[in-house]
Structure 1
Amino acid sequence: MYTFKEVTLLITHYNRSSSLERLLKSFRSNNCVFGGIVVSDDASKPEHLAKLHELKEEFGYKLVTTPVNRGLGNNINKGQDAVTTPYTLYVQEDFEPQKGFFRKLQESLEIMEEDKGLDIIRYYSYLLYPYLKPYGKGFSEMYIYPFAPQYKKVYFYSDHPHLRRSSFLEKFGRYKEEGSIDKCEYSMCVSFIRKKGRGLFYNDYQSLFVQNNTEQEPSTLVRSDWTKSKNPVIAFARGVYRQVKYNFDLHLAR
C-alpha cells in the first residue's frame, strides 16, 4: 500500500465524471491512499453533478462546487483553498497514473522534505523542458537565464500533473480568473519565474501519466487556428511574437 498522509489529491473537474471515476479507481486499484481528496467542480451539467455526489459517497472526497462556471483559475483556487495538508498532488480529471508513478511520488516527497527550496515537481508534459540540469532519481532541475532563446522556457510551471507545496498560492499568487485556460496557465508561468520558483521535471515525462480524452468525454480545451497552424510563415511569425512577448512579460513588464 502507498500511504501519503501529508498529501491531498486535488482534482479539477468539468463535465467529465466518467473520466473522474476512472482516475479515482486507478488510484484505489494501486492501493494509494492520501491524507485527503478534493474534487473542485466548475458548474458541471446536472447529470455530471449528480454523478459527482454518487462518487463522493464511494470515495469519500470533499466536493467543492460553484453555481456558475468561472473558469479553470477559479476552479483551482477554490480547490486549493480546501486543502489542509502540507503537500498537494494536482491532477486534472482526464489523466490516469501509471504503475511507476507511486514510487516516484514517494521519492518526490523525500526530495521536497530534504530540499526545502523546491516548490514543484512536474510529472507530465507534451514537450521536454528546454533548460534542464541533472538532479537525481530520474529528475532534472529546470532553470532559466535572461533572454534564453527557447521561448518554451516560459513553461516553467504547468497545469499538468504535479506535486507542490500547499503554500503555493501564498508564494506565487492566486490563479488568474479572467480569460482563457491558456491565459490562466501563462499568467502563473510568468509569476512562477518572476518570483524565482524552483522545480523538478521528470525526464521520462510521458511514462508516469496518460491523458485520456474519449469520444464521449473529449477535451474541453479549444485553441484558435493561429496557435495550431503548421503553415511555415504563420509558425515563424508566432515564434517571433512569443519570443518578444514572453521576454517582455518576464523581464520588463510591471
Structure 2
Amino acid sequence: MHNNTYSFEDIALLITVYNRSSSLERLLKAFDELGICFGEIIVSDDCSKAQHQEKMKLLQQDYPFKLITTPINKGLANNLNKGQNAVTKPFTLYVQEDFIPQPVFIKNLENAVKIIKKDTSVDTIRFYAYFPYPYTKPYDTNFDEMIFKKSILYWNHLKFYVYSDHPHLRRSNFLKKFGYYKEGIQMDKTEFEMALSFIKGNGKGLIAKDIYASFEQKNSPDEPSTVNRKSWREDKSLIILGLRKVFLLYRFLKNTFQLYSK
C-alpha cells in the first residue's frame, strides 16, 4: 500500500476471489486510495482461470498480499475456510471482491475496532446488508445489536441471518467457535448453515445503523456476479407475490425446524 494514513495492524483483510482479478484490483486500489493499511492481506482464490491467476501474481508487486490457491475449484466454503486458516492476526475483515469501500467506512472501522477490542462478548460487526436486520436494540450511536427472537411470533425470516457473508469484522477464532463453513453444498446453504451455527453458539453480532454507507457492491460486464438469483423473486405480479408469501411462510417454518432439530 502507498498512502498508509489509517493503520490497522491487528486486522487481516481476507478477500475471496474466483475469476475476478480486475474486481480484486479495484478493491485493493480503493483501500489504498482511502489510506487504509492492514496487518496482512489474504487473498483466497478458488482455482481461477490462468489469466486471472497471472494477473493476481502481478498485483502482488503493488499490493503485499498472500495468495492462497487450490488446484481444483472447491466452492466458496472451502475458499473461506482455507483463507481464514491463513490469517495470523486477532481480527479479520472479510470482504468479497465485488465490494468497494466508501470514505465513511474509515470511521466505521475505527469504531468497530474499538468495540471488538473492548467488548469481548462481540463476535462480529457487520457493515453491509441487502436488508435491515429485523430485530435490534441500540448498541451505540453507530451500531445496533442484532437480537435473535426465538419465538415463532417473530415471523420475519430474515431473523435467521444474524450472520452474513457481506463485509464484516470478526474475531479470527470465529471458525473455531462456530465451526467451519460446510463444504460441498450450494453457496446460499453454506451461508445459512453458518448463520444457524452462529445462533446455536450464542453468537453476538452488531450491525451498522446505515447498512448502505460503508460499501458499494458493484459488478462489471467483464466480471459479472457468479450468483444467479431466481427470476420469480423479481416478479411483481399478484400471483407471484401471493406464492412468494406462501413460500416465505414455508421457509420460516422450515428454518425454525432446522434450528431446533439439530
Give the TM-score, by structure 1 length: 0.97
Work out whether residues 39 and 61 of structure 1, in 8 Å CA contact, stay in contact via their aligned partners in 2: yes
Structure 1, unpaired ranges of 5+: none
CA shift, 1:224, in A, is 3.6
* Corresponding residue of 1:105: 109
* Corresponding residue of 1:61: 65
Pick the aligned partner of 1:247 from 238, 256, 262: 256
* Corresponding residue of 2:47: 43
The CA distance in 2 between the partners of 1:3 and 1:227, in whole Å, is 41
CA shift, 1:103, in A, is 1.3
Q: Does 2:118 align with 1:114?
A: yes
After superposition, give the CA deviation of every residue in 1:115-171 in whole Å (9 maximum; x if it has no partner): 100000000000000001001131000001212211110110000000000000000
- What is the percent sequence identity of the aligned residues? 49
* Corresponding residue of 2:161: 155
After superposition, give the CA deviation of every residue in 1:186-213 in whole Å (9 maximum; x if it has no partner): 1101100111100001011001000011
SS at match of 1:153: helix
The CA distance in 2 between the partners of 1:20 and 1:137, in whole Å, is 32
Letter in 2 for 1:172: F
SS at match of 1:20: helix
Pick the aligned partner of 2:246 from 211, 218, 237: 237
Pick the aligned partner of 1:124 from 102, 122, 128: 128
SS at match of 2:15: strand
Letter in 2 for 1:100: V
| 200-209 or 227-236, which deviates more | 227-236
The CA distance in 2 between the partners of 1:84 and 1:232, in whole Å, is 47
SS at match of 2:229: coil
CA shift, 1:80, in A, is 0.2
The CA distance in 2 between the partners of 1:245 and 1:98, in whole Å, is 37
* Corresponding residue of 2:76: 72
* Corresponding residue of 2:95: 91
Q: CA RMSD in A?
A: 1.1
Structure 2, unpaired ranges of 5+: none
The CA distance in 1 between the partners of 2:121 and 2:226, in whole Å, is 34
